[in-house]
Amino acid sequence: MRKSVARLAAVGAIIATITLAGCSADTAGSSDTESKGALAMSYAGMDIQIWLDTLEFMKPIIEEAGYTLVTDDPRWDIQTQISDWQAWIQRGDVKAIMGYPIQSDSLIPVTGEAVAAGVPVVGYASSWDGVEYSLVLDNYEDGLTLGRQAGEWLLKTHGNGEVPIALVADRSADLARLRAEGIEAGLAETAPNAKIYDIGSATRQDAYAAAQSQLTAVPDTKAWLAIGDDPGLGIYQAVIDSGVAADDSDYLVSSLDATNESLDIIKKENSIWRFGYILPAQALAEKNAAMLIAAAEGTLSGDEVLHSIAVGASNADEYYVD
C-alpha cells in the first residue's frame, strides 16, 4: 500500500511542478521573462515510473540552461499526443520537442508541421520521418541480453525440457516490440525448448490480471519476463498472490527498466525476481536534456546511444533514485 501511495504522490508532484500541455500552455512561457523558451518532452503516458523519474531529473538541468520544461500526458492515445504537439507548435515559444511516439507513423504529419515551424523534433527510443536525430535505446539488444540470461537460468534450473514462460509485452509500440523480439531470440539461443506464452499488457493492473489468467490456464508457468518494470511488478504480485513463495527456487521474474520498487524486491534474499536491467533515470535525463538543448540551439549533430545495465542483489544499491 505504501508503494501505491508513493507512486500516486510522485505522479502528482510531476504534474504539479512541470508545465503540462493544454490549459497551462499559455502561462508557461511568460512565467519567467529571462527564459530562452520552452523545451517539450512527450512520453506516451505518465503511468511509467522510469519516465516520471527521468522528468524529475530533467527539469533542473533544463532550467539551469535557461529554458522551461513542458510535458504532457497523452494516456497512450495517439490523437491526444498529436493535439498536444500541435498546441506546442502554436504556442510560439517551444524551441524543440522530444518524444516517444505512441505510433511512429501517426506522428509523421505533426512532426512535419513542427519542422516547418522551425521546431526541431528529437526521437526518444525511436525514429521516424522528420526526425533527424534520436536517443537510441538498443531495445532489441537489451531484450536479447535479458532473454539469454533467463534462458541460462531455465536450463540450469529446469533442464532442457519444455518449460512454460510468460512474456509480458504490449507490442503496439516499437520499443516494446523490439524488446520482446530480443527476449525471444535470447531464449531461442539458450533455452530453445522453452514454451513462450505471449501476454500483451503494458500497465501493472493489466499485467496482474493477465498473469492471473495465465496461472489459471497454465499453472506451472515458471518464468515471467516483462519488457518494463510496471508490468513486471504486476506479474510479480500475481505470482505471489497465487501462493508462490517469494524465494521459491523454481521461479523466475525479471524485467527491463528496473525502478526503486523492483530493486527492493531484487535485493531480498533468494528473491524470485532474480535479476533485472536498468537504464538509470539520471543518465536518461542527462541525455534527453542535452539533446533537447542542442536541438533548440542548432548544435545537435548525431544520435546518442544508451544500453541497459544488469542489476542484481549485489549491485542494486547503486541504482536507487532518491
Q: What gap in Å lies between CA 59 and CA 63, rounded to an integer?
A: 6
Q: What is the dihedral of CA 108, 111, 116, 117, to 10 degrees?
A: 160
Asked if residues 255 and 226 have their Cβ atoms less than 8 Å apart, the reply is yes
Q: What gap in Å lies between CA 210 and CA 316, rounded to an integer?
A: 28
pLDDT of residue 54: 95
Tens digit of each residue's pLDDT (9 = 90 or more) over 133-167: 999 988 999 999 999 999 999 999 999 989 999 99
CB burial of residue 103 (10 Å; 0-12, 13-18, 19+): middle
Question: What does the mean pLDDT of the chain come to?
Answer: 89
Tell how far CA 214 is from the center of its chain: 24
Grid cell for residue 104: 511512429
Q: Who's near 102: CB < 8 A, 6+ residues apart?
A: 44, 74, 76, 77, 78, 81, 173
Asked if residues 91 and 38 have their Cβ atoms less than 8 Å apart, the reply is yes
pLDDT of residue 200: 87
Tens digit of each residue's pLDDT (9 = 90 or more) over 114-139: 999 999 999 998 899 999 999 998 89
Confidence of residue 10 (pLDDT cuts 50, 70, 90): very low
In this prediction, residues 185-214 reach a mean pLDDT of 94
In this prediction, residues 73-93 reach a mean pLDDT of 97
pLDDT of residue 18: 55
Mode of pairing for the β-strands spanning 276-278 and 309-311: antiparallel
Percentage of the chain exceeding pLDDT 90: 79
Tell how far CA 89 is from the center of its chain: 25
In this prediction, residues 289-311 reach a mean pLDDT of 96
In this prediction, residues 266-287 reach a mean pLDDT of 95
Q: In this model, does residue 169 exceed pLDDT 80?
A: yes
Percentage of the chain exceeding pLDDT 70: 90
All structural domains of the chain, each given as residue ranges with its CATH number in brackets, are 2-132+280-308 (3.40.50.2300), 139-278 (3.40.50.2300)
Confidence of residue 171 (pLDDT cuts 50, 70, 90): confident
What letters, b where the CB count within 10 A reaches 16 and e where it falls short, cover 38-47?
bbbbbbbbbb
Q: Who's near 175: CB < 8 A, 6+ residues apart?
A: 100, 125, 126, 137, 139, 227
Grid cell for residue 296: 533548440
Asked if residues 41 and 69 have their Cβ atoms less than 8 Å apart, the reply is yes
| Residue of higher predicted confidence among 171 and 133 | 133
Q: In this model, does residue 109 exceed pLDDT 80?
A: yes
Grid cell for residue 68: 522551461
CA angle 201, 146, 158 (to 5 degrees): 95
Q: What gap in Å lies between CA 106 and CA 102, rounded to an integer?
A: 8
Q: What is the dihedral of CA 26, 28, 30, 36, to 10 degrees?
A: -130
Computed on alpha carbons and rounded to an integer, the radius of gyration of the chain in Å comes to: 20
Tens digit of each residue's pLDDT (9 = 90 or more) over 30-73: 344 478 999 999 999 998 888 999 999 999 999 999 999 999 99
CA angle 315, 227, 122 (to 5 degrees): 95
Q: In this model, does residue 24 exceed pLDDT 80?
A: no
Helix (H, G, I), strand (E, B) or coil at 131: coil
